[in-house]
Structure 1
């Protein structure tokens, strides 16, 4: 949302009982587009703040429908000993810009199965309304699937024969297809950028266990299976259909890239970690505009990915296992060893030449955190930098 790494914006963790999420001081993609006259809407999972000042409609969105926190909440009311006099039943919520957050209906295991269909229908309705009045739009649809509990819509339950997690992926594909069909039906295909991606790798908790396939790991680690996700982008006439790349593009690159595409300016009063990737995406350059990035888990840098190398500073191969600080960092060649199984350090320091450039990048990033101190976790609202 901000073009900034979570360590800068204080969004490194979610802890109940303290303010979390993006402070209202942060400038979001939605605010950038809204300031330029776009209609903005979000339908789905927010998880970037659940207090006044940090709702989606406080952060640039004209409309919001979905859940403010996690899909785990849908399980609460069915769990052993749940006491709604202590913790209210979670709800699906909605709001409009400058309006109150309103509870629509309980978010439970039944509505958990149905919500992504609702999100799709609301997103299609939003686009239709904007096309009717001739207004450009930014439509953000963070589906709640496949996060646990990965329960598919009843129409998709059992369709694959490989369990609910596989069924959910078929449902996601179907819902995304409905969005694309709607864009075609509205006659705006050639003038609409569509991005389909994820913020992390597969679910790790049984029985909703997913696979990262060619790579290793699940979310909440610095393993490649956690960090590497699909990224598909369609812009007819600008991005060649069927083109592919194995270059690194990071989520933070979305803000400056979309700003360039729409002819907008990125914020100049704060560090923006993202870089403009439009030249690479449109085929003007073969290489990405970035060579790597730090991989944080909470407030600690677990690894740094650089080109096709990964240097682990803290080892954690499984999200539910304790992390281990390494006396000597590990080096992995992600081309010959995509599952990060063979540390090259014990092999006679076989790739020790990678350490100097990687640690140069690490030090440069850490110096930037000194130059512009991060938003502290738990910062109250309102919050503004002191320097």
Structure 2
């Protein structure tokens, strides 16, 4: 009897320890504007749930993605390292690409040799699930359930209707899929459906640690908003009204998940992250990246700096800000360390565990240097200085703290710094793999033109503001 009691006590202790591992919920938006949230000062958007999350945790002032477009940004997040290191340099939307290797169409994806954040968390005993937009390869070998996720509900491609298709597309990329190969259109509005599916997963796994990656396609095109949500913005018109309504739905869906965690008593033992995959494409969905210049697809701050919130009760102080640059590459090591994994044993990551930096145990920047690259375009941020290399003009140099809009090119005033940073950028490029596919040059021109358009708009705005001040 004594031995039985000891055994029961041991099992209870093991179970208790296992439950000390925090649950992880990653709320991930798509193509949202930097300024389109109440916690970033928007007076137009209605985002009460995310605003509340910001007050309950840490808001990161300088959070960066590893690429200003959807697919590569996700590839960096899922692996915790620069996606260019395994050849995922360009977007993976068939039709936009020119293959330069054996990979083409749906065979473009994160190589199966790469270890994902779900792989790492499964090793630590987590139930794992992915909901929404995948965009990391359409072929079966890249399927989420073959990349560490126990469950999947969503679509493999980059964009689809928020409403069910009456005649689903023949290609598998943007069909709704549950599990592996079970294609069936949803009922209702997709943003709400994804939240409901995530909640179901949380309820079924509340007794053990879980990882839910909720990858919304909101607010990516097509511009599909419900009439009910549109009615909340009578003073807006056109795409701006639609993106406001779609953002409201995004916030509502996030709120449902957060409310469920609280209802189930899981809130205190759950890490919640909210972020976005790249800057908003203002010309496509009327998103607003103010006060940042640029947009999706370019290396200006408006293309690569994103909203980022983190809540972890008892671990990070509520209603605080973290001012130093971080990267979404940091998500994988942060999650893995929180799950009890030994990050120091993983030698092939570019991200870091953020917690020691947030709590002041490490009193320096998580990253002294950050890189971006797409074909001939490339960028390096070193400390507070940022160099952008272009294919059609001389490189520019900016001092970010004093010029967040990147309107004051200091290249001619800092020739030695320019040369040093240019060399470091080039040396980093020498460590990368050859791209597995390339963006068609016609689309590369679109990206450059988009950058110039919004850069010029910001220059004019700044000039007008300065003139008013003088007058």
Residues of 1 paired with 2:282 and 2:346: CA distance?
38
Q: Deviations for 1:141-194, whole angstroms, at most 9, x for unmatched residues?
A: 011101111322343123123311122222212211111111111111121111
SS in 1 for 2:260: helix
Matched, 1:334 2:409: no
Cα pair 1:71 1:144 within 8 Å, conserved: yes
Match of 2:48 in 1: none
Q: Higher relative contact order by CA 8 Å / sep ≥ 6: 1 or 2?
A: 2
| Cα 1:170/1:292, change in 2 over 3 Å | farther
Residues of 1 paired with 2:388 and 2:93: CA distance?
26
Matched, 1:62 2:139: no
Pick from 414, 434, 438: which aligns with 1:351? 414
Match of 1:320 in 2: none
Match of 1:166 in 2: 244
Match of 1:368 in 2: 431
1:51 Cα deviation after fit: 0.6
Match of 1:20 in 2: 108
Cα pair 1:93 1:101 within 8 Å, conserved: yes
Matched, 1:244 2:328: no
| Correspondence 1:222-237 to 2 at 5 A | 222-237=299-314
Match of 1:313 in 2: 389
Choose 138-147 or 7-16, whichever is displaced more: 7-16
| Cα 1:270/1:245, change in 2 over 3 Å | closer
Cα pair 1:74 1:90 within 8 Å, conserved: no
| Cα 1:33/1:375, change in 2 over 3 Å | farther
Residues of 2 paired with 1:186 and 1:197: CA distance?
24
Unaligned runs of 5+ in 2: 1-77, 95-103, 439-471
1:241 Cα deviation after fit: 0.4
**Bigger Rg, structure 1 or 2:** 2
Residues of 1 paired with 2:407 and 2:362: CA distance?
33
| Cα 1:130/1:38, change in 2 over 3 Å | same
Choose 283-292 or 184-193, whichever is displaced more: 283-292
1:20 Cα deviation after fit: 0.9
1:126 Cα deviation after fit: 0.6
Choose 332-341 or 239-248, whichever is displaced more: 332-341
| Cα 1:262/1:306, change in 2 over 3 Å | same
1:32 Cα deviation after fit: 0.6
| Cα 1:74/1:21, change in 2 over 3 Å | farther
Match of 1:258 in 2: 335
Residues of 1 paired with 2:169 and 2:336: CA distance?
45
Choose 213-222 or 143-152, whichever is displaced more: 143-152
Q: Deviations for 1:303-324, whole angstroms, at most 9, x for unmatched residues?
A: 112222221101xxxxxxxxx4
1:292 Cα deviation after fit: 2.5
Unaligned runs of 5+ in 1: 315-323, 379-387
SS in 2 for 1:293: strand
Cα pair 1:257 1:278 within 8 Å, conserved: yes
Cα pair 1:148 1:203 within 8 Å, conserved: no
**What's the TM-score, normalizing by structure 2?**
0.67
Cα pair 2:136 2:142 within 8 Å, conserved: yes
| Cα 1:377/1:32, change in 2 over 3 Å | farther
Match of 2:193 in 1: 118
Q: Name whichever structure is richer in helix by fraction.
A: 2
Residues of 1 paired with 2:323 and 2:196: CA distance?
33
Cα pair 2:163 2:190 within 8 Å, conserved: no
SS in 1 for 2:392: strand
1:263 Cα deviation after fit: 1.7
Pick from 201, 205, 209: which aligns with 2:286? 209
Residues of 2 paired with 1:169 and 1:362: CA distance?
36
Residues of 2 paired with 1:24 and 1:64: CA distance?
17
Task: State the superposition RMSD in angstroms.
Answer: 2.8
**What's the TM-score, normalizing by structure 1?**
0.81
1:138 Cα deviation after fit: 0.5
Q: Deviations for 1:98-118, whole angstroms, at most 9, x for unmatched residues?
A: xx3211117xxxx7x711100
Residues of 2 paired with 1:158 and 1:283: CA distance?
45
